[in-house]
Amino acid sequence: MTLVLNQVSTIFLAIALLTFGMVLIKKVGFLRKFCIPAPVVGGLLFATLATILKSLGWLEITLDTSLQSLFMLTFFTTIGLGASFKLIKLGGKVLVIYWLACGFLALAQNTIGVSMAYLFDLHPLIGMMAGAVSMEGGHGAATAFGQTLEDMGINSALSIGVAAATFGLVAGGLIGGPTVKYLITKHNLKPSETENGIGSPIAEIEKPIQTDSFFTQIFLITLCMALGTYLGELFSTATGFVLPGYVGAMFVAVFVRNIVDKINPKAIDMKSIGLISDVTLGIFLSMALMSIKLWEVANLALPLLVIVFVQVVFIVLFGIFVLFRLLGKDYDAAIMVAGFTGHGLGATPNAMANMAAVTARYGPSTKAYLVVPIVGAFLIDVFAMPIIITTINLFN
């Protein structure tokens, strides 16, 4: 028996699972204590249930997740609207350090993957598929490079890459909160009192949301989305270098924010922007996790699980003992570690969900919300792709 959910039903299910996750977090102390994001809780429970039903031959559920990209696009646009040029200056040195750390992580992940492959007497490129390709690269890179390796004669590279990316996505959503909670508790860290939400002053959050102002924010968001996606396509066509639409929208939003600030500083309402940001992120991540096909990775060999486990241990240790110190050992550094574990093992939305879960409990971090999405969504590939391609050529 097959149950096919259309676009509207899939969105309803995503929201229902997100709400269910919120309820569970309130009821279950462990989830609340370790800042596990609500979309991760609800989405993974559904993915597990769907896997059980399919494996028993009772029911197969097909989802229409075509609107995931729209919610993701909206979320990153809100991030851009929260960034003024003074915040970019603020993140200058820290952004470079974070970026270099991501480059080192890609190198380390490939080294771990290849080394573990030799340990299990596997082709080294199989190990690479459980390295930076699937960890920092996520499902997109795993699919692209997996097909390339299979064309080169490396059997099962695609399946292994997708499986590793799935495990990484799950792990990235689960360990970010607990890791940062440890740092915050151990070092007694607190956020700046002058920040709130994506970057608004505390006083601003106390203002009630007005309908006229709310629609002004929607107008600005959709304007940036339209311009950003169009310019992204234009840039890709002209240069041959693919620029994701959400990255283009985010950068357009940064410029729109600063232009609007010059004309009318009160036009941007960060309380409304923050609300839209939280809603779109929650729905996107819920849709992404509930649609994971766990049955496709159920029969994976033990070596893959061990490699991914080692990757998880490494990124946690690197985040706590190296990156946190390099970034300044303050509250912002701890929040960026949450983002680092999220996109270092899965995807940028994972990073943002990790940071959202922690900041919702402990307080905001404007610097982290500026640095992490810019590096995780775009700049990271400047290091990761050459490292991946070099590894392929070394062991081909």
**pLDDT at residue 196, as a whole number:** 44
Considering only the C-alpha atoms of the chain, give the largest distance between any 2 of them, rounded to a whole number of Å. 64
**pLDDT at residue 243, as a whole number:** 63
Classified as helix, coil or strand, 189 is coil
Classified as helix, coil or strand, 134 is coil
- pLDDT tens digits for the chain (396 residues)? 899 999 999 999 999 999 999 999 888 887 776 567 788 789 889 988 998 999 898 999 999 988 988 998 898 888 888 766 665 566 678 988 998 999 999 999 999 999 999 998 888 999 999 999 989 887 767 867 887 888 888 877 877 887 788 788 888 888 888 999 999 999 999 887 454 444 443 344 456 778 888 999 999 999 999 999 998 888 878 877 656 677 788 889 888 988 998 888 788 888 888 889 889 888 988 887 788 777 766 656 688 889 999 999 999 999 999 999 999 999 999 999 999 999 899 777 788 888 988 888 898 888 888 889 878 766 777 788 788 888 888 887
Please tell me the total number of residues recorded for the chain in this structure: 396
**Residue 152: DSSP 8-state:** T
Tokens found for residue 93: 């040195």
| C-alpha distance from residue 280 to each of 283, 300, 360, 390 (Å) | 5, 33, 16, 37
Tokens 């002058």 correspond to 194
**pLDDT at residue 195, as a whole number:** 47
**pLDDT at residue 135, as a whole number:** 92
Contact 345, 373 (CB under 8 A): no
Classified as helix, coil or strand, 379 is helix
Number of alpha helices (DSSP H) and beta strands (DSSP E) in the chain: 19, 2
Q: What are the b/e assignments for 104-114, b being 16+ CB within 10 Å?
A: ebbbbbbbbbb
The reported pTM is 0.69
